[in-house]
Amino acid sequence: MIFRRSFLFTFIIVSMSAAAFAAGYLTREWRDASLNEFPIVKESYNILINNGLKQIPQSPNLEYGMIRGMVEAYDDPYTIFVAPAQHELESNALQGSFGGIGVRLGRDPQSNWVLFPIPGSPAEKAQIMEGDRLLGVDQLSVSATTSQDDIQSAIRGPVGQRVKITVGRPPDFSPFVLQVKRAEIPLPSVTWHLALEDARVGVIEINLIAESTPQEILNAAKDLQERGVSSFILDLRNNPGGLLTAGVDVARLFLKDGVVIQQQYRGKDVETFRVDRPGPLVDLPLVVLINHGSASAAEIIAGSLKIHKRALLIGSPSYGKDTIQLVFDLKDSSSLHVTSAHWWIPDLQPPIGGIGLQPDISVTPQTEETGPDADIQAGITALYGSK
């Protein structure tokens, strides 16, 4: 997706389909609009109320069902409704951090939720211990059937505020309450390492395009160069996208000049995103890895580097998503993501939409993850030639 506002895998990877979360989001506050009444919906609702054997679902579940039906009828794969807990987690991932207490969630043999505090975290400082059974978060009662998204959403909140964590400790699991002050917990979007096949090559993996991604890439490049790296592989495989503006800024890191993308909203003029000055990584030898899981903002990065002849693309064709979604925050913290614009890379042929980016060097997708990484090996060969 692409989110466009500067707003919106260690603890979580956002639970989303690569298709829906792949191209471009702008976050907007919901504003009431004058809507026509839907008489058939009202009539059907009254029939259910007066004649149905089963009890009508409690709010907001009934409303959510109506919204999902409306979105389905709208017939756009990237226009989606997102419930509050999932929307919060999605927003955290795109911001690159969240207010939390620093715990991992797990299951014990009886499927109860248990806590694993991260060393040095607020949770550890508050005396939460590894294996403590989670029984409640503020007003949320936690059982084996409580969803992980609901738990994570309840634990997270404004930095500096306290959250009430109810735990049971082995062996008797008698409940007691701990007050834990939330701190800023990073959600890295970038990891990096030396290529096992050739220590001259640094591999920078981008999992999601977040606000923090451009700076994370700079940090990665600096660290790898200090370790003797002279060439780089930018790994965008299975990257579903993220923030449009962050994707443009990542491309600018590697480009000297020119246009990154253009975009257009319905009834609006075309908007052009340019490179204003040479990026800090413009001289680094570079190749880019893509596959069918590379979408949206990831395609903006890869496509702009391809069209400006900055890097060869290696792997298999990308997903092919060239639309932007506005994210409207609804009154209960759920959200409606609406496809509202189209973006493209000038002079790129064929265009991305529908068929995706075509690699310069094709590598047959691997069906097993055992053995050498063929894409990495092809990248090293492209940088240094075969041995």
**pLDDT tens digits along 224-250:** 999 999 999 999 999 999 899 999 999
- pLDDT tens-digit series, residues 342-354: 999 999 999 998 7
Question: Average pLDDT in the 19-23 region?
Answer: 38
Whether residue 32 contacts residue 53, with contact meaning beta carbons closer than 8 Å, is answered with no
Residue 381 or 367, more confident: 381
Residue 29 is predicted with a pLDDT of 47
Three-state SS at 373: coil
Say what percent of the chain tops pLDDT 90: 55
> Residue 166: which of 183, 180, 153 has the closest Cα?
180
Residue 8 is predicted with a pLDDT of 31
- pLDDT tens-digit series, residues 81-103: 988 877 776 776 666 667 899 88
Question: Average pLDDT in the 197-203 region?
Answer: 91
Residue 11 is predicted with a pLDDT of 26
- What is the CATH topology of the domain spanning 190-384? 2-enoyl-CoA Hydratase; Chain A, domain 1 (3.90.226)
> Residue 217: which of 237, 240, 234, 241 has the closest Cα?
234
Residue 299 is predicted with a pLDDT of 97
CA 296 vs CA 324, 344, 347: distances in Å: 9, 10, 18
> Residue 221: which of 253, 198, 247 has the closest Cα?
253
Q: What is the largest CA-CA distance in the chain?
A: 77
Cα 273 to Cα 282: distance, rounded to the nearest angstrom: 17
Split at pLDDT 50, 70, 90, the class of 292 is very high
Cα 69 to Cα 304: distance, rounded to the nearest angstrom: 37
Please state whether the peptide bond connecting residue 60 to the residue before it is cis, i.e. omega within 30 degrees of 0. Answer: yes
Cβ atoms < 10 Å from Cβ of 57: 12
What is the CATH number that goes with domain 100-185?
Answer: 2.30.42.10
Please list the alpha-helical segments (H only) found in the chain: 39-51, 61-74, 84-95, 122-125, 148-155, 213-226, 244-254, 297-307, 374-384
Three-state SS at 100: strand
Residue 181 is predicted with a pLDDT of 95
pLDDT value at 33 more than 50: no
Whether residue 44 contacts residue 285, with contact meaning beta carbons closer than 8 Å, is answered with no
Whether residue 286 contacts residue 305, with contact meaning beta carbons closer than 8 Å, is answered with yes
The residues spanned by each domain of the chain are: 100-185, 190-384
Tokens linked to 260: 């990154």
